């Protein structure tokens, strides 16, 4: 599809000092990105021949006016829909909740009664999901955030700060309740990852989705190593790694991130949690 550079560049005067369309960088036929259609013949002094062709009885659709959805094949539309669903299911706000649920089911914490699991999970969800969502909605109503998905680089600053506070509060809560050290450090590592992402985001858009799920992968590796794991820990580890790959691919497919931004997110999320949870 040709790129319309209209209004991007100032008009360039012709050699005689007058503005001439033939010297315009904004002219689609002679744009910097090449001519996308045949050049019209130079006008002559002769009268143009009368156009005796009949008027069309119906409008002909312009291919250049088709939107992206019209250009997608059914398979591409299916991939796009699945990518959106995966991005919302594995949204970074839910990673602390998923991490806690996996810790309860796959580590020494599986001896905890169901009532305790539910209460702790609800508290973590309230701190890391409900409160941030309410604040993000308020930010949108105030005009500070345009997209609830936080896909813009500049509108992620305050949500990152909210996430950092949520992670640190959760880490303190787990520590105060006598949770294993590695679980408290998992949440602290999430806070560190969010802080690193915040700093990087000032200059470059990094994938928070990739960082979040990579942190969960690091948690499962820690459980497999030192958390008295259940026998099916390796199944969940492989599944989480596969989901991490699919999620990163989905973010690239949707155009939210480049491959390098996704890879950087993986590195930040994994290293922040992995090396912190290794503290004895």
Say if residues 277 and 219 touch (Cβ distance below 8 Å).
yes
Q: For 220-242, b where at least 16 C-beta lie within 10 A, e where not — what string? A: bbbbbebbebbeebeebbeebbe
Does the pLDDT at position 172 exceed 50?
yes
Supply the pTM of this predicted model. 0.71
44: part of which helix (H) or strand (E)? none
Which range scores top for mean pLDDT: 17-31, 35-49, 239-253?
A: 239-253
Does the pLDDT at position 181 exceed 70?
yes
pLDDT tens digits, residue range 78-128? 999 999 999 999 999 999 999 999 999 999 999 999 999 999 999 999 999
Q: What is residue 176's predicted lDDT score, i.e. its pLDDT?
A: 95
With bands split at pLDDT 50, 70 and 90, how would you rate the model's confidence at 156? Answer: low
- The two tokens of residue 47 are 């009268």
Q: What is the mean pLDDT of residues 145-153?
A: 60
What are the angstrom distances between the C-alpha of 141 and each of 61, 66, 85, 133, 221?
A: 39, 32, 25, 12, 41
| pLDDT, the chain, mean | 79
Q: What is the mean pLDDT of residues 24-44?
A: 42
Q: Which residues make beta-bridge pairs with 265? A: none
- The two tokens of residue 232 are 């099916």
């Amino acid at each position: 599809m040709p790129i319309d550079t209209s209004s991007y560049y100032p008009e360039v005067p012709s050699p005689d000092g007058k503005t001439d369309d033939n010297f315009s960088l904004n002219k689609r036929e002679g744009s910097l990105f090449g001519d996308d259609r045949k050049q019209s013949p130079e006008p002559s002094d002769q009268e143009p021949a009368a156009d005796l062709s009949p008027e069309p009885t119906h409008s002909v659709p312009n291919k250049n006016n088709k939107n992206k959805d019209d250009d997608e094949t059914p398979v591409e539309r299916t991939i796009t829909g699945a990518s959106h669903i995966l991005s919302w299911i594995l949204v970074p706000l839910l990673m602390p909740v998923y991490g806690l649920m996996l810790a309860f089911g796959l580590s020494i914490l599986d001896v905890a009664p169901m009532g305790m699991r539910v209460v702790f999970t609800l508290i973590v969800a309230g701190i890391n999901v409900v409160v941030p969502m309410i604040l993000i909605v308020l930010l949108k109503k105030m005009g500070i955030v345009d997209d609830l998905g936080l896909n813009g680089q500049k509108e992620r600053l305050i949500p990152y700060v909210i996430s950092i506070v949520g992670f640190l509060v959760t880490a303190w809560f787990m520590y105060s309740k006598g949770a294993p050290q590695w679980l408290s450090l998992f949440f602290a590592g999430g806070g560190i990852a969010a802080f690193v992402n915040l700093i990087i985001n000032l200059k470059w858009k990094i994938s928070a989705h990739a960082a979040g799920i990579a942190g969960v992968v690091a948690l499962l590796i820690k459980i497999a190593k030192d958390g008295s794991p259940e026998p099916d820990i390796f199944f969940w580890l492989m599944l989480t790694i596969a989901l991490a790959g699919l999620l990163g691919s989905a973010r690239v497919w949707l155009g939210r991130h480049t491959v390098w931004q996704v890879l950087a997110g993986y590195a930040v999320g994994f290293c922040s949690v992995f090396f912190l949870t290794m503290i004895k």
